[in-house]
Structure 1
Amino acid sequence: MSVATLSAASSAAAAGRLAGLRLPATVVLSFAIVALVIAWSLAPGLFTSQDPVNGVPAHKLLGPSVTHWFGTDHLGRDLYTRVVYGAASSVTSALIAVVIGVIVGGLIGLLAGFLGGWVDIVLARLVDILLAIPRFLLAVIVVTALGFDTTNTAIATGVSAVAVFARVMRAEVIKTRQATFVEASFLQGGSRWYILLHHVLPNASRSVLALAVLQFGLSILVIASLAFLGYGDPPPASDWGLLIATGKDYLKWPWLVYAPAFVTIAAVLSVNRISRWLRKTD
């Protein structure tokens, strides 16, 4: 093989690696939208200087403009400001829900898949019971028992996601437990807990990462739906679902619904796109 051929092959391989690292445009856009929403939740004051609670009555129900990007509501409050400040509760609540689902559901699936026997049977039946109840209905039942509050809606959403994480983790643990390197570790004298923590858990948790990202977007949607039904914080809170619920009473001014709904949909779709990209990358 000539030097020119080797050089061409090396260049092609390098180009292939660079192409593999290049993110699709939709993924880049999704990351940008999610980063913007997270920035809103961490430092809303950097993106708007207006008051999200107190408005100017003379400016009520103004349409979108340079001064008020999303228009104003029936109390003269800047809708863009309320959407920005509402991101904090939406992101925080979704994060709480995902953490609850990952920890509780992951632990159930890990123990059921690794220990097997009667432990697997009992935990698997528990998961089947949770899966038999529609997730949104389960969230409504839990938040009704805990009380109407944004934190309680986050807990309710997390409880409704436990069964999904448990099912995925159990399947991954069973698959990993049958791998050759796990059997070799057993033969070398490794304890069950050592193998569980150092071999099974790291390999089984890869699929859970993509599911956690997907669940983050779904949690935003569920929490917004619960807030729309009145299960979240009462006014003057600016949860996205509550903004949509308030705007539906003023259909002559559609931006009161369109603006928070568009932000909610954009955030959820962006998270879903990132989750699909992570699954393909894995």
Structure 2
Amino acid sequence: MSMLAEVTLPRPLKEVLAIVRDTPLRVAVCLIIFGLFVLAAMAPKLLQTQDPFAIDLTAALQFPSFAHWFGTDQLGRDLYSRVIEGTAQSLAIGLGATALSMSIAIVVGVAAALCGGVIDNLLSRIVDVLFAIPTLLLALVFVTVFGLSVLTEVIAVGLGTAPGYARMIRGQLLSIKGAGYVEAAKVLGHPFPRIVLRHILPNALNPLTAMMTIGVGQAIIWASGLAFLGLGVAPPAPEWGALLNAGRNYVIYAWWLEIIPGLAVTALALSATIVGRHLQDHLEGKR
């Protein structure tokens, strides 16, 4: 079974994925969308129409128009430019949290699967306990203890998602350890370290590239959830979760302050997930 099939995604994202199948056309569209987000993160000035931090109280809470494509916020700042400006921070949080969680998961999963015995039992029990704790709750505890910053948000989300990845990596390694080609290498007298480096690890860790693509979208959703609860990046940073948190007080009068940043989070998470799943299918030779 593919490791990606076991990735724990938020239920709304699962429901959307059930509708939006990864046909070639939709994969191409998602790849373009994901590419635009990467462009916005790397060169926001190319896409912005106004200064994202310029305050104009006379233009506060304006409906989306030709002058302000996504409308304006309570301080008259252009929401479109702020969403573009916040892409880099949101994507950086997603990439950083995913890299951290994968690093922890690889170390724990490899140690548990290859050492076996007492070490495997101990690490597996620890991972099971952490996995039983909801990701958002684990992240909330960490942020509450260590304070608000981009770094703590990255670490919180990374720690919260690491147990699930560790379980998948361990399971994948255990299944490969019993594969026929590994047993054949043992019969031929190859030393165990060589078998691990040449046969077990490359085949077990190969799907991680695609899994990390999915993990980025998932991490952005968790980070946005933290920020929505007021435990994310502090204003005036236009990180998407912070935009959602700031806009919830005006949702009745200015719906675009909630809907548009929420759509940005959904579009990035969905496009990254579909591209990641398609990449995994390609690596497994299904397409």
**TM exceeds 0.5?**
yes
Taking only the aligned residue pairs, the percentage that are identical comes to 36
1:271 corresponds to which residue? 272
Deviation at 1:115, TM superposition (A): 2.0
Counterpart amino acid of 1:73? D
Match of 1:17 in 2: none
Q: What does residue 100 of structure 1 align with?
A: 100
Q: Which moved more, 1:224-233 or 1:181-190?
A: 181-190
TM-superposed deviation, 1:48: 1.0
Partner of 1:248, secondary structure, is helix
Partner Cα separation in structure 2 for residue 27 and residue 266 of structure 1: 13
TM-score by length of 1: 0.88
Partner residue, 2:227: 227
CA distance in 2, matches of 1:26, 1:66: 29
Task: Look up the match of 2:77.
Answer: 77
Aligned residue-pair number:
261
Aligned pairs for 1:71-150 (under 5 A) are 71-150=71-150
The aligned counterpart of 1:40 is: 40
Matched, 1:66 2:66: yes
- Runs of 5+ consecutive residues of structure 1 not aligned to the other structure: 1-21
Give unmatched runs, 5+ long, in structure 2: 1-21
Q: TM-score, normalised by structure 2?
A: 0.86
Q: What letter corresponds to residue 86 of structure 2 in structure 1?
A: G
Mapping of residues 171-250 of structure 1, within 5 Å = 171-250=171-250
Structure 2 distance, partners of 1:190, 1:156, is: 42
CA deviation vs aligned residue, 1:106-138 (integer Å, no higher than 9, x gap): 121112112211121111111111111111101
**Superimposed CA distance per residue, residues 222-256 of structure 1 (whole angstroms, 9 cap, x where no aligned partner):** 00111111112211111111111111211211111
Q: 1:46-103: per-residue Cα shift (whole Å, max 9, x none)?
A: 1114221222222222111122110111111100010001111110011011111111
Superposed, 1:4-19 pairs within 5 Å as none
For 1:53 and 1:136, the matched residues in 2 are separated by 30
Counterpart secondary structure, 2:66: coil
Query: CA contact under 8 A between 1:59 and 1:76: conserved in structure 2?
Result: yes
RMSD across aligned positions (CA):
1.7
Deviation at 1:184, TM superposition (A): 2.5
